[in-house]
């Protein structure tokens, strides 16, 4: 182990002597911390949507000859997006074309008339106009999703209002009350009161007339009971399917904690894999490998030193990043022991993987490129959630990513950061197995270079 200590010191000296590398190792985690911190602390901005309302003022939706109160569709829409009010279609079009707004929503002048025609014998098709600038596929999908969601909200709002009014009229028929028409108040007796009156007068009628009146009384009671059931039915029709969400698996921490864990794992993975792979390749590029392994240090000792280098630098850089994150999102500092455990074990497994990559090539540049080409897609694939791709593809991705330490490292760090995350034991065991496996691969690969 004496040799390991001096080699580690030598590698740290070399790191210190490479200003660009040293600056990158410090600047990279700080930059990531600041970027992720800003992103998750500010939250998503509402998309800007141009809004043009051409519907004449005081025009109301009419049900059965009665005007409904205002549904406040505009207010509801503008709660969910940043509305940019425009004065005409030309301005709306220009703002969309210039990219100032994501889309323009135009409520045409005849919109309410067409909605009112739905309850007539000649129903029209109420339409709103949407102007979009689909300059790329992602933006197009985003606009489609937003507009569809907004219109669904508007439709639901109107349907609820109509349902509510319909329910009020049914209540009037069942229970009685007052009804205003053309400024005049008309009292409505209601089925309940009618049935009661009929029941009271029945005994006073001649016996031959009673059966007929009893039938009418029975009908009034049945109508009352059925219409009582109809009211909640109308309410349900406005939103027939309700959501009852039950979490059956995949305990998840808050989104910002997951984002921090992703940033920390990405930082750790790139720093450790590139550093260990590059450092091992440097031993051969400097021709020092045969000199070292000719009795000065064993192959296992050399590999241990490289993994240790990765752990030391990786832990420092990742902790620096997490400390930077504290300025944006408060982390549970009393879990710092678990942070360290997760980072150290993750760094060791990533370091062993870096050593296996470093043993595969002779030059630092080739190794760096190889490490990048492996780490980046593995990290990308590890972040794909189930359901985002077909089950077969997801299974293939799951097995593939399980062969590399990124995903278990992400799970371990997520678990360490927040108690709502998954359990930490499984990922740590997975990382330990990968660490042993990659160390063995690295040892075998290095044997190829033991001869001159």
Residues within the interface to other proteins (CB under 8 A): 2-3, 6-7, 10, 13-14, 17-18, 286-288, 290-292, 294-297, 450-452
Among residues 117, 37, 31, the alpha carbon closest in space to that of 331 is found at 37
Smallest separation, CB 446 to other proteins (Å):
14
Smallest separation, CB 367 to other proteins (Å):
17
Between residues 90 and 451, which has the closer beta carbon with respect to other proteins? Answer: 451
Smallest separation, CB 42 to other proteins (Å):
42
Is-contact 349 431, C-beta < 8 A? yes
Please give the distance of CA 222 from its chain centroid, rounded to a whole number. 50
Between residues 239 and 450, which has the closer beta carbon with respect to other proteins? Answer: 450
Question: 190: which strand partners?
Answer: none
Between residues 168 and 294, which has the closer beta carbon with respect to other proteins? Answer: 294
Separation of alpha carbons 26 and 316, rounded Å: 9
What ranges in 239-254 are assigned the alpha helix state H? none
Is-contact 443 299, C-beta < 8 A? yes
Between residues 11 and 165, which has the closer beta carbon with respect to other proteins? Answer: 11
Smallest separation, CB 359 to other proteins (Å):
18
Smallest separation, CB 8 to other proteins (Å):
11
SS3 179: strand
Is-contact 163 237, C-beta < 8 A? yes
Q: What letters, b where the CB count within 10 A reaches 16 and e where it falls short, cover 76-112?
A: ebbeebebbebeebeebbbbbeeeebbbbbbbbebbb
Between residues 136 and 287, which has the closer beta carbon with respect to other proteins? Answer: 287
Between residues 3 and 108, which has the closer beta carbon with respect to other proteins? Answer: 3
Q: What letters, b where the CB count within 10 A reaches 16 and e where it falls short, cover 264-275?
A: bbbbbbbbbbbb
Smallest separation, CB 7 to other proteins (Å):
8
């Amino acid at each position: 182990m004496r040799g390991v200590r001096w080699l580690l010191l030598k590698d740290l000296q070399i790191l210190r002597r490479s200003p660009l590398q040293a600056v990158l190792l410090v600047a990279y985690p700080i930059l990531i911390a600041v970027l992720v911190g800003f992103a998750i602390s500010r939250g998503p901005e509402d998309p800007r949507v141009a809004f043009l309302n051409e519907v004449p003022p005081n025009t109301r939706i009419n049900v059965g000859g009665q005007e409904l109160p205002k549904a406040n569709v505009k207010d509801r829409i503008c709660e969910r997006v940043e509305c940019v009010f425009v004065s005409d279609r030309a301005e709306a079009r220009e703002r969309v074309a210039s990219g100032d707004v994501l889309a323009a929503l135009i409520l045409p002048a005849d919109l309410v008339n067409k909605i009112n025609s739905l309850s007539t014998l000649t129903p029209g098709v109420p339409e709103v106009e949407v102007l979009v600038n689909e300059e790329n596929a992602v933006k197009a999908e985003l606009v489609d999703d937003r507009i569809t969601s907004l219109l669904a909200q508007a439709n639901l709002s109107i349907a609820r209002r109509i349902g509510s009014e319909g329910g009020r009229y049914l209540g009037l028929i069942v229970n009685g009350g007052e009804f205003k028409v053309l400024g005049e108040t008309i009292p409505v007796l209601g089925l309940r009161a009618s049935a009661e009156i009929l029941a009271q007068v029945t005994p006073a009628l001649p016996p031959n007339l009673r059966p007929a009146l009893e039938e009418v009384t029975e009908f009034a009671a049945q109508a009352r009971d059925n219409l009582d059931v109809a009211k909640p039915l109308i309410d349900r029709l406005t939103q027939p399917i309700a959501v009852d969400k039950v979490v059956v698996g995949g305990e998840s921490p808050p989104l910002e904690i997951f984002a921090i864990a992703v940033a920390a794992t990405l930082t750790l993975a790139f720093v450790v894999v590139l550093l260990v792979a590059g450092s091992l390749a440097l031993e051969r590029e400097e021709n020092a490998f045969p000199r070292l392994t000719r009795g000065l240090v064993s192959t296992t000792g050399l590999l241990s030193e490289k993994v240790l280098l990765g752990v030391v630098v990786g832990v420092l850089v990742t902790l620096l990043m997490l400390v930077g994150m504290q300025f944006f999102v408060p982390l549970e500092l009393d879990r710092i022991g678990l942070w360290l455990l997760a980072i150290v074990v993750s760094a060791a497994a990533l370091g062993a993987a870096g050593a296996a990559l470093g043993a595969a090539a002779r030059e630092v540049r080739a190794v760096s490129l190889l490490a990048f080409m492996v780490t980046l897609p593995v990290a990308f694939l590890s972040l794909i959630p189930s359901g985002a791709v077909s089950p077969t593809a997801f299974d293939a991705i799951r097995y593939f990513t399980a062969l590399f330490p990124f995903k278990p490292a992400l799970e371990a760090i997520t678990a360490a950061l927040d108690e709502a995350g998954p359990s930490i034991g499984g990922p740590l065991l997975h990382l330990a197995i990968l660490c042993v496996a990659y160390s063995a691969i690295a040892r075998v690969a290095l044997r190829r270079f033991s001869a001159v």
